[in-house]
Structure 1
Amino acid sequence: MQRSGAATARPMPIQTLLKWSVAVAVVTIVLKTLAWWLTNSVGLLSDAMESFVNLASALFAIAMVTIAQRPADEDHPFGHTKAEYFSSGFEGLLIAGAAVAIIWAAIRRFFEPQPLQALDWGLALAVVSSALNGLLAWRMMVAARQHHSIVLEADARHLFTDVWTSVGVVVGLFLVKLTGWVWLDPVLAIGVALNILREGTRLAWRSVDGLMDTAVEAEVREQIDRTLAQFAHHTIRFDHLVTRRAGQRRFLDVHMHMPASWTLGRAAALRADVEQALMSEVPGLRASIQLLPTDVEAHFNDPEDPL
């Protein structure tokens, strides 16, 4: 079966990317904290606080990915891949907590405005840290699609949010410098907090949704349907197809109907070919195929999905 070069390229390991995330978080914490210390801007303080969240999230993600990669055992026969959802949920809660702290600090600054200093240096440091986060976020999002990893996707989306946060802070502080309106700084910080609160809520919901055994992604379902269609003809048909996902793993249950006159060996050989084709097309897929004679129907509450 032919596959594109992009699909067969070996992606960077998840843990390696998360370690890079830790390193970048440490660097951006230093840069943004220095920018806040130089300028006394609560907007830059809010930006620095989000980088602390990035660091904590990346460290927790490494722990959860390590657990998720453990092999199946007697107590967890389907593996530990759902541990990834705890990481994204934890990250969402951290983001929400940081947003509340930022709003509190911004409200106090709004009623007790203070002059800003050394804005040129502060803006330059914020731009450098944003560039680092943007580059890492882009690389992690690419890898998240390759690995089907919610951990990498959550971290990448959080970093993208951090980038847009920094862009908003830089633009706002530039306006403060032009206009002298110091009150823009806390207003900007509140806007940043509301934005990251929205992202944190979305990440937490995705974590909860993933723990409820959702179906595979639309593109993965298309790959499955296309593969089964290669084997379906007037004597072979598939129905009662059900999918679910758990972290990086994908699961498929389907009935394969064939002539009752076939020997068990012939039927088992065809099933093996179908399973191999499915696993080749969708890495990480675990397929469970039940063999049935053509004239026998299994009745479940699930609707039929003939192919």
Structure 2
Amino acid sequence: MQARKYAFLSLGAAIATIALKLVAYWLTDSVGLLSDALESVVNLVAAVVAIWALTVASRPPDDEHAYGHSKAEYFSSGAESVMILIAAIGIGYTASQRLFDPQPLENVWIGVLVSIVAAALNGGVALVLLRAGSQLNSISLRADAHHLLTDVWTSVGVVVGVILVSLTGWLVLDSLIAIAAALNIVWAGWRLLRDTGNGLLDAAWPAKDQGRIDAVLAPYREQGIEFHAIRTRMAGQRRFVSLHVLVPGEWSIQRGHALCEEIEGKLRGLMAHVT
């Protein structure tokens, strides 16, 4: 439920930035600023999907879902990646049309100022989501954060393009910047889609985190305890680890069981949501 609170923050930011960027487009008639506004519409839809996915993911395990519902988060990140790609196609199409029929821009400096305010809002929210996503190990929040950061850099590029158009009078720059923004969005969507696929395919923990498991097990190895078949996987905010423990033959079952309980407790203490 804590992660969902941050998703609502993203929703509020999306609504605010859409309004600001549409005002900037209305003031300037810049296709670059229009492309920026369209990407923020994607942010809005993504935030709604993220809220739904995080709500489902927070449900406890049941008879039909013994490992919980945490993989629901991948529906959010997968949907967001597809929407990012669709937005990029729309931006590219709109920009290509204007490329052959450039239009003069109006009220440039007021529109630029409004767009900068929207970018600053997105940047601040993105940093909050990125920090929360890392702390809560939520791919939905991380996906939303990276998307917002992409939006920020797109806004920066568009603003620079609009200013250059105003200073040089070269109207085609507006469309070229919008096309460059579309290509940047495609790259962000592809990376997010790849991360979603890795999660659905039960990718192992990052090497750094697997090293933390080895650090927990090292003192026991020095005592003659052996481990093998160490396997890890991630599902949304939850992380799973399984391993086989080999103890000396003279140990009793009770002693071996107590050792396993001790090791399990230490592995759970590595980070939140470890099973």
TM-score by length of 1: 0.87
How far residue 230 of structure 1 moved from its aligned partner, in angstroms, is 2.7
Separation in 2, partners of 1:137, 1:195 = 17
Deviations 1:206-253 (A, max 9, x none): 111210011012222111111111322243121221111111111111
- AA aligned to 1:188 is I
Separation in 1, partners of 2:208, 2:258 = 28
CA RMSD of aligned residues (A): 1.1
Q: Which stretch of structure 1 is more off in the superposition, 56-65 or 232-241?
A: 232-241
1:101 to 58, 76, 90: 90
Tell me which residue corresponds to 2:73: 84
Please list, as runs of the form range in 1=range in 2, the aligned pairs for 1:185-224 lying within 5 A after superposition: 185-224=174-213
- AA aligned to 1:42 is V
Separation in 2, partners of 1:123, 1:97 = 25
**Structure 2, unpaired ranges of 5+:** none
Tell me which residue corresponds to 2:106: 117
Deviations 1:113-147 (A, max 9, x none): 11100001110011101101111111111111111
Could you say what secondary structure the match of 2:233 adopts? strand
- AA aligned to 1:268 is H
Identity of aligned residues (%): 47
Separation in 1, partners of 2:228, 2:113 = 60
Tell me which residue corresponds to 1:7: none
Separation in 2, partners of 1:235, 1:227 = 14
Does residue 139 of the first structure (1) align with residue 128 of the second (2)? yes
How far residue 84 of structure 1 moved from its aligned partner, in angstroms, is 0.7
- AA aligned to 2:172 is W
- AA aligned to 1:31 is L
Tell me which residue corresponds to 2:157: 168
1:75 to 52, 64, 71: 64
- AA aligned to 1:183 is V
Separation in 2, partners of 1:49, 1:230 = 55
Does residue 280 of the first structure (1) align with residue 273 of the second (2)? no
Q: Which stretch of structure 1 is more off in the superposition, 198-207 or 39-48?
A: 198-207
Tell me which residue corresponds to 1:298: none
Could you say what secondary structure the match of 2:221 adopts? coil
Does residue 55 of the first structure (1) align with residue 55 of the second (2)? no
Separation in 1, partners of 2:94, 2:225 = 66
Separation in 1, partners of 2:176, 2:225 = 65
Separation in 2, partners of 1:125, 1:61 = 27
- AA aligned to 1:33 is L
Separation in 2, partners of 1:199, 1:92 = 8
2:241 to 228, 243, 252: 252
- AA aligned to 1:196 is I
Q: Which stretch of structure 1 is more off in the superposition, 226-235 or 157-166?
A: 226-235
Could you say what secondary structure the match of 2:244 adopts? strand
Could you say what secondary structure the match of 1:52 adopts? helix
How far residue 159 of structure 1 moved from its aligned partner, in angstroms, is 0.4
Contact preservation (8 Å) 1:242, 1:253: yes
Please list, as runs of the form range in 1=range in 2, the aligned pairs for 1:24-43 lying within 5 A after superposition: 24-43=13-32
Separation in 2, partners of 1:236, 1:189 = 60
Contact preservation (8 Å) 1:231, 1:274: no
Give the structure with higher Rg (CA): 1
Deviations 1:185-224 (A, max 9, x none): 1111111111101111111121112100110122221111
Could you say what secondary structure the match of 1:255 adopts? strand
More helix by share: 2
Could you say what secondary structure the match of 1:238 adopts? strand
Alignment length, in residue pairs?
Answer: 275
Separation in 1, partners of 2:114, 2:249 = 72
Tell me which residue corresponds to 2:253: 264
- AA aligned to 1:189 is A
- AA aligned to 1:126 is S
How far residue 268 of structure 1 moved from its aligned partner, in angstroms, is 1.0
Deviations 1:142-166 (A, max 9, x none): 1111111111110000000000000
Tell me which residue corresponds to 1:228: 217
TM-score by length of 2: 0.97
Could you say what secondary structure the match of 1:253 adopts? strand
Separation in 2, partners of 1:72, 1:81 = 9
Q: Which stretch of structure 1 is more off in the superposition, 50-59 or 203-212?
A: 203-212
